[in-house]
Amino acid sequence: MSYSPVALLTGYIAKWTQLADNPSINYKTLVICFTWVQTAFEVYVLRRQIPCYDRPAPPPALKDHLPTETFSKAQIYSRDKTSYALAKLVFDFLLGYGLIKTGAFSTLWDFAGELLNGLGLGNEWVITHSLLWMTVLTLTTAIPGLPWSYYHTFVLEEKHGFNKSTLGLWVADTLKTYALFAVIGLPVLAGFLRIIEWAGKSFVPWLMLFLLTIQLSLQIVYPTFIQPLFNKLDPLPEGELRSKVEELASQLGFPLKHLYVIDGSKRSSHSNAYFYGLPWSKHIVIYDTLIKDSTVDEVVAVLGHELGHWYFAHPTKLLLITQLHLLLTLTIFSIFINNKALYSSFGFDPSLAVTAPQPICIGFVLFQLVLEPTDALVKFLLHAETRRMEYQADEFAVQLGKKKDLASALIKLHVTNLSSPHSDWLYSMYHHSHPTLPERLNAMDAYKGGKPLELKGTAGTNTSASEAKKDL
Ligand SMILES: [Zn+2]
């Protein structure tokens, strides 16, 4: 007897669906336990990093590049950032714990229902009800976070000389972010819910297609409509830097369409560079702060690294990884979509899980709470992959003969960003998407050449319709 993989998977899903919908499973208690364990783990990881700030000297790879004064400034800044992260972690835990413990999810659902009725709409308007609920829920968690955001910008960053933002700009940024949630987030959520409602049990492929379309459209919409709300992008003026970047792009066959400078200095003196765009038409964006702090050759070396990401199709690979993660998440969600035990654990009427029109949004939010502990695992795996990509992009720049300039650019970035040169290994694995600077410098030194680059057009043929932005 033979089974097709689809039939096998459907069988497993049916079996797990039955097992997971057990009235004796209290999902609320389970989520509370997960939250405790996850927070304890994150506190442990952060605390492991603190002794690194007591070390008296930089690591050997940096000892000639980091003046004592800069080193101690970096240690103090990093210590302040870690203390802030610890306090914020505890605050977020208490807020999340409070919401779950007090039954806020179902109370706010009822409140959103009253708002709906106040608008003259009945309970059959389940998607509108869900959008109101998500708005209230988002505000309930976002508003208490505002003082933290204020403190981060105007106290922490200000104290160490990074803040360039003003109160007016901060308020405007916050309001624009909320407006984007209303203009983009809510319609996408409505589409998401409508597709599940329409497709029933076979919603996974349709939802994947919908979300991928949204992701790809945002690639086009973001630089044209969203980014200008926050920053100004100007073409990089004619001159040595522009000619050298254009020369590098044409040498590699990189389809450079526009070369911009972004006014990152408007908010902060941290610096960076990245590229984005469709496979046949790409744009490079360089922070004005990077140009100000580096030589022309150093900026070109940084772009050599960025183009390494393009050459090895890293953004496409990351997009594929996120699609696989999404596929897995949605498949597991299909197990929980009609789970009465999940609804009743959080104080909802269990019949909501099975009677039409079903408020799928409730199930999805509660499911996210149950799934949250897997985020830590995903973070570890994803960071392992992005770190591998960073080494590869560094090697690419080394092969282009830019080792010396890339090393000095990275050291300067490190110095101007006041990053701490010491890291605990577990902290680094959990929090760093990039290898640490000493690791990168050592790897560049150890690099002895490899397969020669295939340049001019044949390089890094990308087949995806679009690529995500990738930072340095
Ligand atoms: Zn990179």
Tens digits of per-residue pLDDT, 299-318? Answer: 999 999 999 999 999 999 99
From ligand 1's centre to the CA of 383, what distance in Å? 12
Buried b or exposed e, range 68-102, using 16+ CB within 10 angstroms: eeebeebbebbbbbbeebbeebeebbeebeebbee
Which is catalytic among the residues 293, 306, 405, 439? 306
Mind listing the pLDDT tens digit for each residue in 361-377? 999 999 999 998 898 89
Query: How far apart (Å, rounded) are the C-alpha atoms in residues 169 and 166?
Result: 5
114 labelled catalytic: no
173 labelled catalytic: no
Q: Is the pTM of this model over 0.75?
A: yes
Q: Are 164 and 267 in contact, with CB atoms under 8 Å apart?
A: yes
Grade residue 327 by pLDDT with cuts at 50, 70 and 90.
Answer: very high
Mind listing the pLDDT tens digit for each residue in 137-157? 999 999 999 999 999 999 999
Residue 19 reports pLDDT greater than 60: yes
Which is catalytic among the residues 42, 293, 394, 439? 394
Query: How far apart (Å, rounded) are the C-alpha atoms in residues 222 and 214?
Result: 11
Grade residue 265 by pLDDT with cuts at 50, 70 and 90.
Answer: confident
Write down the pLDDT at residue 453: 62
Least confident segment among 87-96, 214-223, 299-308: 214-223
* Range 400-407 average pLDDT: 94
Residue 212 reports pLDDT greater than 90: yes
Tokens of 408: 């000095």
Tokens of 140: 């309930």
Q: Are 371 and 211 in contact, with CB atoms under 8 Å apart?
A: no
Query: How far apart (Å, rounded) are the C-alpha atoms in residues 16 and 50?
Result: 43
When the pLDDT of each residue in the chain is averaged and rounded to a whole number, the result is: 89
Write down the pLDDT at residue 273: 87
Would the annotation count 314 as a binding residue?
no
Residue 465 reports pLDDT greater than 50: no
Would the annotation count 390 as a binding residue?
yes
